[in-house]
Amino acid sequence: MEVAWQPSAEYLERSLLRSFLTRHGLHSYGELVSRAAEDIEWFTEKAVEALEIEWRTTPARVVDLSRGPAWPEWFPGGVINLTEQALDRHVRNHRDRLALVWEGEEGATRTFSYGELLAEVNRCAAGLQALGVRRGDRVGLYLPMIPEVAIALLAVARIGAIYTPIFSGFAAQAVASRLESCQAKVLVTADGYYRRGRLVNMKETADKAAEAVPSVEHVVVVHRTGQPVSWQAGSDVWWHELVAGQPTAVPAVPMAASDPFMIIYTSGTTGRPKGAVHSHTGFPLKAAIDMYFLFDIHPDDVVTWVTDMGWMMGPWVVLGGLIRGATVFMYDGTIDYPGPDRLWQLVERHRITSLGISPTVIRSLMPHGPAPVRQHDLGSLRTIGSTGEPWNPEAWWWTFEHVGGRRCPIINYSGGTEISGGILGCTTITPQKPCSFSGPAPGMAADVVDENAQPIRGEVGELVIRKPWLGMTMGFWQDPKRYEDTYWSRWPGVWVHGDWALVDEDGFWFLEGRSDDTMKVAGKRLGPAEVESAAAAHPDVVEAAAIGVPDPVKGEEPVVFVVLRPGSRRDGIENEIADTVAVGLGKAFRPAAVHVVSQLAHTRNGKILRRLMRAAYLGQAGGDISSLENPQALDEVRALGEAHHRPEA
């Protein structure tokens, strides 16, 4: 595979990463990655200096590893509050710079300068204190992508409390399970939101969840749509009444560097989500460091991500963007409503410079062709971010050509909720191959290993991290054993992330899907991304998901689910797609079955949940499905599995 993009002089001259290399006598990105992996204290200290982080009390050292690699203490003795890094220090010098821009699906817009945002955060902080929220208390945020979700996040952190982000599309049981796990004292929600022009009643779901969790004393409600809602006198509070008359100056509570600010839940293979705990100097600084080194985010940038604040990329873009002093853009709505050009319209209207998407988002827009993109001036774009799942080449090239005009790098970025950002990434000063990563993000001692934890190159292996990093979770909330068992139990002192990866002969890195999604066909490990890319080479396939099913001869065989372009269904197309896979991968890997479906099971931020699709197809229990945006997709898969495996009469 050939290099598709090379950095221009403009990218090289602008690059914060390049300036960092020069400042520290380093000659290449690879040299930085190697030194950062070898000396995590040196890199972390220099990265925090580059961000110009201000301490209340300077830490005694960078990291204390006396409890072992699974339990590092970063910046022992340091005192800080993340909100002062995201707001106060910028307000002193750039009070009127835009901090937050918002647009709703119905077209409403709101803007906040850094000074205005700090004032709103302080009002909310004082309001929460008036409700009895104190240092260490937990507050659940079950909100759409509106300014109040960012304001509340910062307000909770400012008073030393801990917030839990909750996906705005969750049903009551999923909301309640998270509130119950962290014993939340307050839930912040909205009356509702707009989706494809219709009203969604959010308060009704919030009420059902709060009723099931005795620790919730108050429900704070943002007036978003004006639709009628039920009301519990004494416990329900309108947001606008809570913040009215509150002071615009509230001191940030001094916090130890390792004090938690967030418990963010991820879905597990059982019905019990995992609550990853993050500190004031973990998740926020890792987000800002990756924005600095990989995305080259400057204060004049406008950054956004197509996501929800319940997923890690929501708080990641808000906290990372504000710590970098940039402008964060938020959109509350559907990206193809009222027309397929809505996303590109947003880029043009708000002069977005860094746009984050998932490959699924692109695949959903590709059937409309490039015309909707060409209707808008996307000249403001400098980078296109991507996360959530591996690319297939067709979608990568479509984005590179039509969205970025072949001039913008695609910053492929992969890590996770427990990582606080990226394990792997691209940069604006290194070449790119389609679908690839430049390598590990600085500070990540990543490797690809075989079944004996030995490094391998040129073949698929397990993605691991050999040393702690700033931003790694401080464990799972009240469940340290589950954390150790999940990541540290396979090989001593090695974090096993659960992804298959490959490093090619030129040093480019590729992800091949989750290792628990991987199939072993006739003794060969096969990542689902390989099969899906081969299936997507068929001209009628919009997107695909591949799973492995048991086979008595081969061990496993691939089964592929495909979504077709409108109007392309015809007799025999399943065999055509299976043949396309066989041509791409070899006859031995021809799918046992190809099924045309109306949709794949995925989260709102585009991640395909193959584990759940496989369980449904095989008639097994799938565990936690709360992160699914479209659980009805599993019903279709389950029915196909029953029909395919049902013995003939």
Bin 321: left if φ > 0, else alpha if -120 < ψ < 50, else beta: alpha
In a domain, 314, yes or no: no
Strand partners, 189: 221
- Predicted confidence at residue 648, as pLDDT, reads 42
- Predicted confidence at residue 192, as pLDDT, reads 97
Q: What is the DSSP letter of 192?
A: E
Record the tokens describing residue 253, joined without a space. 């509570």
3-state secondary structure of 523: coil
- The region of weakest confidence among 162-166, 377-381, 550-554 is 550-554
Record the tokens describing residue 442, joined without a space. 């600085």
Bin 84: left if φ > 0, else alpha if -120 < ψ < 50, else beta: alpha
In a domain, 18, yes or no: no
Residue 569 pLDDT grade (very low, low, confident, very high; cuts 50, 70, 90)? confident
Q: Closest by alpha carbon to 429, among 493, 383, 473, 487?
A: 383
In a domain, 558, yes or no: yes
- Whether residue 315 contacts residue 165, with contact meaning beta carbons closer than 8 Å, is answered with yes
Q: Which domain holds residue 617?
A: 518-642
What's the one-letter identity of residue 610?
R
In a domain, 604, yes or no: yes
Q: In what order do the strands lie in the sheet with 354-357?
A: 109-113, 98-104, 327-332, 302-305, 354-357, 383-386, 410-416, 421-425, 439-440
Mean pLDDT, residues 474-498 taken together: 95
In a domain, 585, yes or no: yes
d(CA 8, CA 6): 6
Contacts with 534 (C-beta within 8 Å, 6 or more apart), sequence order:
580, 581, 583, 584, 585
Unique residue bearing structure tokens 């909750």: 166
- Predicted confidence at residue 525, as pLDDT, reads 61
- Whether residue 591 contacts residue 544, with contact meaning beta carbons closer than 8 Å, is answered with no
pLDDT > 90 in the chain, percent: 81
Q: Is the dihedral of CA 164, 169, 174, 175 positive or negative?
A: positive
- Predicted confidence at residue 524, as pLDDT, reads 62
Backbone angles phi, psi at 383, to 5 degrees: -140, 150
- The region of weakest confidence among 109-118, 482-491, 524-533, 534-543 is 524-533
Residue 585 to residues 539, 546, 562, Cα–Cα distance (Å): 17, 13, 17
CATH assignment of the domain containing 588 = 3.30.300.30
Unique residue bearing structure tokens 């002071």: 247
- Predicted confidence at residue 269, as pLDDT, reads 42
- Predicted confidence at residue 647, as pLDDT, reads 44
Residue 623 pLDDT grade (very low, low, confident, very high; cuts 50, 70, 90)? low
Q: Closest by alpha carbon to 469, among 39, 67, 163?
A: 39
d(CA 632, CA 638): 10
Mean pLDDT, residues 617-636 taken together: 82
Within 13 A of 275's CA, how many CA atoms are on the CB side?
24
Record the tokens describing residue 393, joined without a space. 């080449």
Mean pLDDT, residues 56-77 taken together: 97
- Whether residue 189 contacts residue 143, with contact meaning beta carbons closer than 8 Å, is answered with yes
Mean pLDDT, residues 549-571 taken together: 86
- Whether residue 159 contacts residue 133, with contact meaning beta carbons closer than 8 Å, is answered with yes
In a domain, 537, yes or no: yes
Helical residues (DSSP H) of 75-201, grouped into ranges: 82-83, 89-94, 114-130, 147-158, 172-182
How long, in residues, is the chain?
649
Q: What separation, in Å, do the N-terminal and C-terminal C-alpha atoms of the chain show?
A: 50
Given a cut of 90, is residue 388 above it in pLDDT? no
In a domain, 610, yes or no: yes
- Whether residue 310 contacts residue 266, with contact meaning beta carbons closer than 8 Å, is answered with no
Unique residue bearing structure tokens 């209340």: 56
Q: Closest by alpha carbon to 476, among 204, 252, 251, 276?
A: 276
- Whether residue 238 contacts residue 232, with contact meaning beta carbons closer than 8 Å, is answered with no
Given a cut of 80, is residue 244 above it in pLDDT? yes
* Number of separate domains in the chain: 1
What's the one-letter identity of residue 122?
N
Q: What is the DSSP letter of 622?
A: -
- Whether residue 176 contacts residue 315, with contact meaning beta carbons closer than 8 Å, is answered with no
- Whether residue 154 contacts residue 86, with contact meaning beta carbons closer than 8 Å, is answered with yes
